[in-house]
Amino acid sequence: MWILLVEDEKQLANSLKRGLEEEGYVVEVQHDGEEAELQGLVNDYDMVVLDWRLPHRDGKEILEHWRKENRNFPVLMLTALGDLDHKVSGLDAGADDYMGKPFSFDELLARIRALSRRSADISNTEIVKIGPIEVDARKHTVTVGGMSLTLRQKEFVLLELLMTHLGTVFSKTQIAERVWGSAYYVSDNTIEATISTLRQKLSDIFEDLDDYKLRKNDQIIETIRGAGYRFNFDLFKNYKE
């Protein structure tokens, strides 16, 4: 799970980041309100932990903007403003949960788990189908035109990531964080090799399809020069079963 932690108290932010990473979460930290707002507009986080009082732009304003732009990831608000009026105001702005400072780390973890379960319950992405490609996250299977496609773990996670975030361009750093869990322990060459292998496997199985063929230069995983990679949904706009 990819969490954006927005907290201007750097010591607290670093402590929370370490603790969450020890629990297996991938954590990105922002200390500034304006920068956090921008990151929330361009990245598809699984969850955001958002402080109310921030430099340059407060958390409530950020959250209102995100919701206006249909950024629907779960948001847990943190604040020292613990009175009922502020709690109601934060929830009305679009927060999914609210914690007053100070708080225990165990309670924070419990609330993150609860929000994650709630989000999973309303998610329709357990099975994703685009054109003839179907990814079943629960069974951990991929089929193309009804034929089984065998992928390694990282290839599967990468394909699922791209197919569940149509239109999103992922940089190599973001892919490293989302697929490998850290940008520090995986090289660009490894990422490129994984993408290349996944592309080849997809290309090979499409060769065996009778009812849908790719053109020679079609790329299901599209390279956006200078930016990263995305799933090329345009290839399947006219697909009919």
pLDDT in tens, 190-218: 899 999 999 999 999 988 887 777 777 88
Which residues sit opposite 5 in a β-bridge? 29, 49
User: Looking at residues 14-27, what average pLDDT do you find?
Assistant: 92
The one-character DSSP state at 202 is H
Task: Quote the domain boundaries for residue 16.
Answer: 2-122
What CATH number should be reported for the domain holding residue 34? Answer: 3.40.50.2300
User: Looking at residues 10-15, what average pLDDT do you find?
Assistant: 94
36 and 97 in a single domain? The answer is yes
User: Looking at residues 76-81, what average pLDDT do you find?
Assistant: 84
- CB–CB of 222/229 below 8 Å? yes
55 and 102 in a single domain? The answer is yes
- CB–CB of 115/95 below 8 Å? no
98 and 201 in a single domain? The answer is no
Report how many domains make up the chain: 2
Dig out the tokens for 203 from the structure.
Answer: 């290309």
143 and 223 in a single domain? The answer is yes
90 and 140 in a single domain? The answer is no
Dig out the tokens for 204 from the structure.
Answer: 């090979």
